[in-house]
Amino acid sequence: MCGIIGIVGKNPVNQLLYDGLLVLQHRGQDAAGIVTCDGNSFHMHKNNGLVKDVFHTRHMRNLVGNVGIAHVRYPTAGSSSAAEAQPFYVNSPFGIVLGHNGNLTNSEQLKSEMFRQDLRHINTNSDSEVLLNVLAHEIESTSKNALLNSDMVFDAVAGVHRRCKGAYAVVAMIANFGLLAFRDPHGIRPLVIGKQETDKGTEYIVASESVALDVLGFSMLRDVEPGEAVFIDMDGNLFSRQCASNPKLTSCIFEYVYLARPDSVIDGVSVYQTRLDMGTLLAEKIKREWADKKIDVVIPIPDTSRPSALQLGIALGLDYREGFIKNRYIGRTFIMPGQALRKKSVRQKLNPIGIEFKGKNVLLVDDSIVRGTTSQQIVQMARDAGANKVYFASAAPPVRYPNVYGIDMPSRHELLATNRTDEEICAEIGADALIYQDLDALRESIAKSNPHMTEFDCSCFDGKYVTGDIDAAYLNRIESARSDMNKKQLPPNSTTQLDLNLLSTELVGAE
């Protein structure tokens, strides 16, 4: 899970890119980067940290140009080192920078092909650098050293689709030529297009979520279709083409459960409305299965579960109360790279309001239960605050399988629900009763808003991987490679300016 933005403007885009990254900060808190294009020169700054900490005035002044891309990173494949902050750059052909949201499932095979067949060196462990080099090689093959045009770029993306497996929403920039965006043939990770009219002409944006368009003043055009590529040249002319042979929309269902902001619209579906419907459907299950339980109050676990908990309370005719106060200056525990950090942060992040718990039978509602660390501590907090009974409801089904498409659910032994019954999970988190959303109901909550969406990537719930290339050997390999113990920090890199006229890198050096 990462956030990507690309803008082709009529005015400098550095501030727009920065503001857009702030809106997409929830998609990645590990690193941030911006690259702008001014003539034949790329101007880049990236580093580990939150957007507000990575970019200062001195960096923004160097990011000149009316075209640019930006990225916030959440590490899954590779490591959380600053060397793997994005966008990535390759100088041949033409000069290309790329930001990627998702995860390639055949990156090791591609890395070997890059070295042995394409004579390209991959410098990091990031699958995004592999993807960049595959794209660069395909552009080199289709252009044959001729003057580049949009058809050649689309042919290159078709080559990427043939070679790359997994999930990828991509924004890339080709020096002094234009901005390219494309989505994998399954549309697993989201990508939208927007535009705005200025006194100088039309400006275009591509972004991971529609909320970035709203905040920056762009109007939504549409989603990028699965397998589709969109190219916008430096003059602001937009071209698009379907580049996959058998595209099929099977977007990640966890985007609607947790990842996306509630004010976003993904593939024609309001994330907020979906979460309301999750609450309604979960309430129906509670009526069927918990008729004997007396519940006094419904309390959400902030923030993602609020819409579901609110609608659940309304459907059950119960009081809805804010029982936990959140410290806004603590990051999302689910995307923290180390289990030790997750455990430490929960009590720093949430504090209970005693009067909402004392002597009551409370129903805690969360969006999902992944590792269970947070759930266990929150149940204990409710008991410590004086709750009589603590019931727990999850707006999503049990997470039993690793996610291989860009979400950090890498190891089956870290997932609380793997090889456990609901009763065993309930005992593990210390609740008096536990209820999960049914997977069919979760699908229904999305299809209510867009009946054309009939299939999803639900792999973390049902173990069915839509790309068809995942087996036990692959899962064993990623569980080893992505374990928390292997996520080590390396020294941060410095600001760079990439001058394509000289095909060299000038170190500017962060102050």
Select from 165, 202, 197, 230 the least CA-distant residue to 4: 230
The amino acid present at 244, given as its one-letter code, is A
DSSP-derived 3-state class of residue 252: strand
Angle at 35 between CA 34 and CA 38, to 5 degrees: 140
Residue 2 designated active-site: yes
Do 203 and 218 meet the contact criterion of CB atoms below 8 Å apart?
A: yes
* Residue 502, token pair as written in the block: 């000289």
Annotated binding residue 366: yes
Annotated binding residue 304: yes
DSSP annotation string for 86-130: S-EEE-SSS-EEEEEEEEETTHHHHHHHHHHTS-----SS-HHHH
DSSP-derived 3-state class of residue 250: coil
Residue with tokens 């009946």: 451
Annotated binding residue 233: no
Q: How far apart are CA 69 and CA 38, in angstroms?
A: 12
DSSP annotation string for 191-205: -EEEEEEETTEEEEE
Give the CA radius of gyration of the chain.
23
120 dihedral zone (left: phi>0; alpha: psi -120 to 50; beta): beta
Q: How far apart are CA 194 and CA 180, in angstroms?
A: 14
Residue with tokens 């991959």: 122
What count of residues does the chain have?
511
The amino acid present at 178, given as its one-letter code, is G
pLDDT in tens, the chain (511 residues): 899 999 999 999 999 999 999 999 999 999 999 999 999 999 999 999 999 999 999 999 999 999 999 999 987 654 567 889 999 999 989 999 999 999 999 999 999 988 888 888 888 889 999 999 999 999 999 998 778 999 999 999 999 999 999 999 999 999 999 999 999 999 999 999 999 999 999 999 999 999 999 999 999 999 999 999 999 999 999 999 999 999 999 999 999 999 999 999 999 999 999 999 999 999 999 999 999 999 999 999 999 999 999 999 999 999 999 999 988 776 555 455 555 555 556 778 899 999 999 999 999 999 999 999 899 999 999 999 999 999 999 999 999 999 999 998 768 888 999 999 999 999 999 999 999 999 999 999 999 999 999 999 999 999 999 999 999 999 988 887 765 444 444 444 433 334 333 322 222 333 2
Helix 150-163 with 127-143: angle, nearest 10 deg: 130
Residue with tokens 């093959």: 141
Q: The pTM is what? A: 0.90
DSSP annotation string for 310-333: HHHHHHHT-EE---EEE-TTS--G
Q: How far apart are CA 355 and CA 20, in angstroms?
A: 39
All domains of the chain, ordered by start, with CATH?
3-248 (3.60.20.10), 272-327+346-450 (3.40.50.2020)
* Residue 460, token pair as written in the block: 């973390």
Q: How far apart are CA 364 and CA 300, in angstroms?
A: 6
Select from 376, 318, 386 the least CA-distant residue to 352: 386
Active-site hit among 2, 37, 426, 458: 2
Residue with tokens 């050649």: 152
Backbone angles phi, psi at 150, to 5 degrees: -65, -35
The secondary structure of the chain in percent helix, strand, coil, rounded to multiples of 5, reads 35, 25, 40
* Cα atoms found within 13 Å of the Cα of residue 238, Cβ hemisphere only: 18
